[in-house]
Structure 1
Amino acid sequence: MADECGIALLFPGQRLTNNLIGSFNWFETGDSQRGGGEPLSIRQMIKQVVDDHSVDPSRVFVTGMSSGGAMTSVMLATYPEVFAGGAIIAGLPYRSADNMMEAMVRMNGYGSPSDRQLDALVRGASKFTGPWPTISVWHGDSDTTVDNSNASAIVRQWQKIHKVEGPATRVEMVDGYPREVWCDADGRVVIEHYIIGEMGHGTPISADGNEGLGEEGEYMLEVGISSTRHIADFWGLTGSGAARRAESKTAA
């Protein structure tokens, strides 16, 4: 897709000296705040890519799965001015945990901060006042590694910030799966939420056909919907988002 659409990609990698299983330390205080740790390191990488490749700074996006999804939440909260949008796949809300023990509890779907706390955590992460990045949330309903209640908590964390509290503006079926969207006062979709039925812990892919992407494997789960394409459409990177969603929509 990067070749197809002319997208510059950055893949930040974790050092095993920082985390023995190569995950991001999204739950550590020093790695979940602006100006230090892993968020600052990733921010510096982004600036380097933007400068080196003359990337439009208003068209920078961030996505990740699992600990990468949780770190996506961290980046969107701590450096919201950097991103036009973010996509959190099988992740967790920003600052929902402050240590490893809490992280394990939250991953199992217990003890999430209140909606008021979730909102305050993002607002307190920077001095930014908007406009805020758009949010795309994806999660499998059979995920036994990160409970899908975290997906709903992510949506709630950003609803008040985007001034779209309450039920979804509409629900539609896309490639056989429900897509909830929340629209702002101008009718722009600012939050979207996909729950993928019977999918475990991983990234939803659709590898078949002319527009297939990826290859089924560990954490790359063939479920007949390409999160990659739909997220890129949502961000306006493909130039065909509205048309593609219209083709794949079966009910509204």
Structure 2
Amino acid sequence: MKNRIKYSLLLLCIISKLFLFSADLKERVNFGSNPGNLKLFTFNDSLAKNKPIVFVLHGCVQNAEKIEELSDWKKAAIKNDFVVFYPQQKIINNASNCFNFLLESDINKNGECLSIYQMIRYAIDTLKVDSTHVFLYGASAGACMSEVVCANYPWLINTAAICGAIPYRTYAGLKAVNLLGKTQIKPAKEWGDLVRNQNTFYSGKYPRIILALGTEDFVTDYGYASEIIKQWTSVHAISAQPTDSVLKFENNDKVERYVYGKGKETLIFYKIKDVSHTLPVDVGNGEKQGGKDRIFSTDINFFLTYYIVKDFGLIK
């Protein structure tokens, strides 16, 4: 209840700051026709040739700068020499500044999904980033939109990290917003078919998935963790039972880490105990520390971004 009150009281404050940006982030406007009417901000892209790239997608009532403040991707990009792109929603498209992962007009190789595709193509074709090392990271609505991109353009994405999400195509239509906190249970094949049906003739590889979800999440119900695992293990044709697990990961009793896919870590699940719809951070200047403790983040002495960068294979 305290989290709900905290969440509600600060929404207006956050919305009022949606247009404040750091000079470190550069806006790019000529990345394509942009049918979804999104903005794009970039970091560390002046010498992008052959570098990996991470696309960071914000959650509702956030923007590029706010998700950066919480997740500290700039710090990781500088240390490990990769490019960061921040797609950003406009309030004219969604009153809560959420990516429209529920709208058919934005999730079928059209609208916002197509805009993000154009950003990826711009990075590959114009900036010449390493096309084999294109990664997605999303929080909440940004996580769900990351799944949309993975389902529509799987050949472009190496790995996607999704934090606080529901399975791809759980719902369609704005009325579904009120149902996000109620887990919908389906057979693994049915979940997987929702992804496969986006490219019925595609037989190539699908992106690896890194999932993080808090056990006390009241926005995207924690029960969706098992459904997301069922969906993406079905897509990868691997068992939905973990091949490895650490119940006290990095000696932190709030973090459990599960691996699916023997020898490949095809899917990784970070179970974050006693945490709601927030990003885990570890405020500080240490190598494995970062992020800020804000309304959409919680300091549990575990900086999730660092471990995602490591799981991406980008730690130098």
Give the stretch that moved more between structures: 70-79 or 211-220.
Answer: 211-220
The yes-or-no answer on 1:171 pairing with 2:248 is: no
Counterpart position of 1:206? 282
Percent identity, please: 27
Counterpart position of 1:231? 308
- Secondary structure of the structure 2 residue equivalent to 1:130: coil
Check whether the contact 2:188–2:234 (CA below 8 A) recurs between aligned residues.
Answer: no
Q: How does 1:1-252 map to 2 (within 5 A)?
A: 1-34=76-109, 36-105=110-179, 107-126=180-199, 127-172=201-246, 173-175=248-250, 176=252, 177-184=255-262, 187-211=263-287, 212-239=289-316
**Alpha carbons of structure 1 residues 20 and 236: separation in structure 2 relative to 1, 3 Å:** same
| Aligned AA (1:215) | K
Check whether the contact 2:133–2:158 (CA below 8 A) recurs between aligned residues.
Answer: yes
**Alpha carbons of structure 1 residues 98 and 113: separation in structure 2 relative to 1, 3 Å:** farther
- Encode CA deviations 1:173-223: one digit per residue, 9 max, x unaligned: 313211010124xx2110011111111112111122512111111212211
- Encode CA deviations 1:32-81: one digit per residue, 9 max, x unaligned: 112x1111001101221233432100000001111011111111111111
- Secondary structure of the structure 1 residue equivalent to 2:133: coil
Provide the C-alpha distance between the structure 2 equivalents of 1:16 and 1:112, rounded to a whole number of angstroms. 32
Provide the C-alpha distance between the structure 2 equivalents of 1:155 and 1:103, rounded to a whole number of angstroms. 21
Check whether the contact 1:80–1:128 (CA below 8 A) recurs between aligned residues.
Answer: no
- Encode CA deviations 1:84-117: one digit per residue, 9 max, x unaligned: 0001100111110011222421x11233444222
Unaligned runs of 5+ in 1: 240-252
Provide the C-alpha distance between the structure 2 equivalents of 1:205 and 1:109, rounded to a whole number of angstroms. 26
Check whether the contact 1:96–1:112 (CA below 8 A) recurs between aligned residues.
Answer: no
Counterpart position of 1:244? none
**Alpha carbons of structure 1 residues 158 and 51: separation in structure 2 relative to 1, 3 Å:** same
Provide the C-alpha distance between the structure 2 equivalents of 1:3 and 1:229, rounded to a whole number of angstroms. 13
| Aligned AA (2:173) | N
Check whether the contact 1:73–1:92 (CA below 8 A) recurs between aligned residues.
Answer: no
| Aligned AA (1:154) | I
- Secondary structure of the structure 2 residue equivalent to 1:24: coil
Check whether the contact 1:28–1:98 (CA below 8 A) recurs between aligned residues.
Answer: yes
Could you say what the CA RMSD is over the residues aligned between the two structures, in angstroms?
1.4
Q: What count of residue pairs does the alignment treat as equivalent?
A: 235
| Aligned AA (1:11) | Y
- Secondary structure of the structure 1 residue equivalent to 2:306: helix
Q: How far does residue 133 in structure 1 lie from its aligned partner after superposition? A: 0.8
Unaligned runs of 5+ in 2: 1-75
- Encode CA deviations 1:105-140: one digit per residue, 9 max, x unaligned: 1x1123344422211010011243222211000011
| Aligned AA (2:77) | A
Provide the C-alpha distance between the structure 1 equivalents of 2:95 and 2:269, rounded to a whole number of angstroms. 31
- Secondary structure of the structure 2 residue equivalent to 1:154: helix
Give the stretch that moved more between structures: 113-122 or 195-204.
Answer: 113-122
Check whether the contact 1:63–1:87 (CA below 8 A) recurs between aligned residues.
Answer: yes
Larger Rg: 2
Per the normalisation by structure 2, the TM-score is 0.71
Provide the C-alpha distance between the structure 2 equivalents of 1:112 and 1:50, rounded to a whole number of angstroms. 38
| Aligned AA (1:27) | L
Per the normalisation by structure 1, the TM-score is 0.89
Provide the C-alpha distance between the structure 2 equivalents of 1:33 and 1:165, rounded to a whole number of angstroms. 28
